[in-house]
């Protein structure tokens, strides 16, 4: 090989290693996800995850003879397509970095994944939100219901941390055992993984391109879903950690990453809404305040037990974590049944004053509303940095 050819190969390898030899800073992932969220809003609607998983459950039970909501086939509902391609993107990212393996947890952990997924499904439907739709996208949409939902998430996370610490101290064998890993890459092994990663990306891009002939919206949702999965996997972006770590290790990095993504999204969302590009009430749900606090608390407990929220479960499933596949199955089961049999009675029992759509700019204008959300985020920032230094609320 010529000297120039060797240099060219070395440069390409160096570029590859920049992206896949080690994880990206989590705050970089937050910013990139915020940019993608703005793109989704321009295309149609902001980022949400639980709706796609619910669509899978609805279609599954309808195939079994049930009579559940029909938002479209899994390959025609935008958020279903987004979630499928997100898993593919995370799968590709894990393959590129040789981090993919089928990981079978102990039975106790597998049960916690399933149980946590069931709770997340219940909480997402009752709260009309998840950590993405009701937090990461809800705050930029300037919805006060999203703030209340987040309070519920924090409460649920705190309760779950208390339970997990209790379990570790009182019943250490409940979730103990060996994790079985298959297809793990190592020294001299796994050279096939990056090759398969390129194949997965090509397939994902082909899927997105094929949608262009019938629906540009689905094409963009497919492409952005692939992008989201890759970014989440490489940056280890995790809303659960952002809310859990102040009560565990005290680390502020996950929270700062989520803040970065929310700030970027908020800039784009405010412009889009203020200029009338999309409706002002988009991603403002009728859950202020009772559904948000109840649903958020249930969801927060479930996601902490499972080890991932909806998106966290999706991208970790792409890495091969069977526990998070159990979590997804739990959500697929719980969401259709909750929507059909529990939510109607729950909402009917609430007066209108307890299930409002609360768009803050409608009350005080855009400028003051943005100021309120920035002030809340500043207080959050000051808290996590103070707690990181002092460990006042941390278990370790």
Q: What is the CA radius of gyration of the chain?
A: 21
In-domain check, residue 186: yes
Beta-carbon contacts of 125 under 8 Å, excluding residues fewer than 6 positions away, are: 54, 295, 334, 335, 338, 339, 342, 343
- On the CB side of 205, CA atoms within 13 Å amount to 8
What gap in Å lies between CA 113 and CA 126, rounded to an integer?
20
**pLDDT of 289 over the 70 cut:** yes
Number of domains within the chain: 1
Where in the sequence is the domain holding 236, given as residue range(s)? 24-390
In-domain check, residue 114: yes
Q: Give mean pLDDT, residues 329-340.
A: 98
What gap in Å lies between CA 319 and CA 317, rounded to an integer?
5
User: 119-174, pLDDT tens digit by residue?
Assistant: 999 999 999 999 999 999 999 999 999 999 999 999 999 999 999 999 999 999 88
Q: Give the pLDDT confidence score for residue 9 in this predicted structure.
A: 62
**Exposure pattern of 220-236 as b/e (b: 16+ CB <10 Å)?**
bbbbbbbbbbbbbbbbb
User: 373-388, pLDDT tens digit by residue?
Assistant: 999 999 999 999 999 9
Q: Are 271 and 385 in contact (CB under 8 A)?
A: no
User: 242-261, pLDDT tens digit by residue?
Assistant: 999 999 999 999 999 999 99
In-domain check, residue 323: yes
Q: Give mean pLDDT, residues 327-333.
A: 99
User: 342-374, pLDDT tens digit by residue?
Assistant: 999 999 999 999 999 999 999 999 999 999 999
In-domain check, residue 160: yes
In-domain check, residue 9: no
In-domain check, residue 261: yes
What gap in Å lies between CA 238 and CA 146, rounded to an integer?
18
Q: Give mean pLDDT, residues 202-216.
A: 98
In-domain check, residue 199: yes
Q: What percent of the chain has pLDDT over 90?
A: 92
Q: Give mean pLDDT, residues 196-205.
A: 99
Query: CB neighbours (10 Å) of residue 97?
Result: 22
**pLDDT of 8 over the 80 cut:** no
Q: Give the pLDDT confidence score for residue 2 in this predicted structure.
A: 46
In-domain check, residue 265: yes
pTM higher than the cut 0.75: yes
Confidence of residue 187 (pLDDT cuts 50, 70, 90): confident
């Amino acid at each position: 090989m010529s000297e120039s050819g060797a240099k060219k190969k070395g440069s390409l390898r160096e570029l590859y290693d920049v992206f896949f030899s080690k994880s990206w800073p989590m705050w970089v992932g937050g910013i990139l996800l915020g940019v993608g969220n703005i793109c989704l809003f321009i295309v149609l609607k902001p980022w949400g995850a639980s709706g796609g998983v619910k669509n899978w459950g609805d279609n599954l039970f309808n195939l079994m003879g049930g009579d559940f909501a029909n938002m479209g086939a899994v390959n025609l509902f935008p958020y279903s397509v987004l979630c499928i391609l997100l898993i593919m993107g995370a799968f590709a990212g894990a393959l590129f970095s040789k981090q993919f393996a089928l990981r079978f947890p102990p039975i106790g952990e597998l049960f916690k994944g399933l149980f946590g997924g069931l709770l997340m499904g219940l909480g997402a439907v009752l709260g009309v939100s998840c950590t993405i739709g009701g937090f990461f996208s809800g705050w930029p949409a300037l919805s006060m219901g999203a703030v209340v939902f987040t309070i519920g998430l924090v409460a649920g996370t705190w309760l779950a941390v208390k339970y997990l610490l209790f379990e570790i101290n009182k019943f250490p064998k409940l979730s103990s055992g060996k994790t079985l890993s298959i297809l793990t890459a190592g020294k001299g092994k796994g050279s096939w993984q990056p090759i398969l990663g390129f194949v997965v990306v090509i397939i994902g891009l082909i899927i997105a391109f094929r949608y262009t002939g019938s629906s540009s919206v689905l094409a963009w949702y497919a492409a952005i879903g692939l992008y989201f999965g890759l970014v989440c996997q490489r940056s280890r972006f995790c809303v659960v950690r952002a809310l859990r770590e102040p009560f565990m290790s005290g680390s502020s990095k996950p929270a700062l990453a989520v803040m970065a993504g929310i700030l970027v999204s908020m800039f784009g969302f405010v412009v889009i809404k203020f200029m009338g590009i999309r409706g002002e009430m988009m991603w403002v749900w009728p859950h202020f305040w009772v559904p948000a606090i109840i649903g958020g608390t249930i969801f927060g407990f479930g996601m902490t037990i499972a080890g991932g929220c909806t998106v966290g479960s999706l991208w970790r499933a792409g890495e091969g974590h069977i526990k998070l596949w159990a979590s997804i199955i739990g959500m697929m089961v719980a969401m259709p049944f909750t929507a059909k049999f529990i939510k109607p009675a729950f909402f009917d029992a609430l007066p209108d004053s307890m299930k409002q759509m609360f768009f803050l700019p409608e009350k005080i204008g855009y400028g003051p509303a943005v100021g309120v959300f920035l002030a809340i985020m500043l207080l959050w920032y000051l808290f996590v940095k103070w707690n990181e230094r002092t460990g006042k609320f941390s278990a370790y």
